[in-house]
Amino acid sequence: MITKETKIDQITITELGIVLAREATRIMEDGVELSKVYHRFSFAPGSDVSDQSEKVQQVCALAWTPEVVAAYQNHLKNEIQKAQLANQS
């Protein structure tokens, strides 16, 4: 019997609090893996992850403290300011 299995098999949190998730899709025949494909997703601190798996939601809830979200937003503001200054030169 051929089956298709899909699950989040890896979650990583970067220094900035970005959550990276890898979803593995496996095609199996009688318990033997025929193929495997990975899809990767990333979520910035404070993003809406309500449509993601429970596992991703739980990791985001733990990782995204108010301090982490504020630090990420501050980082983005600084990067925008740097880009604007570079464009003025």
pLDDT confidence of residue 86: 87
- Contact of 28 with 36, CB cutoff 8 Å: no
pLDDT confidence of residue 62: 97
Per-residue pLDDT of the chain (89 residues; tens, 9 = 90+): 999 999 999 999 999 999 999 999 999 999 999 999 999 999 999 999 999 999 999 999 999 999 999 999 999 999 999 898 888 86
In the chain, the largest separation of any two C-alpha atoms, in whole Å, equals 64
CA distance linking residue 29 with residue 8, whole number of Å: 20
CA distance linking residue 87 with residue 8, whole number of Å: 40
CA distance linking residue 18 with residue 40, whole number of Å: 13
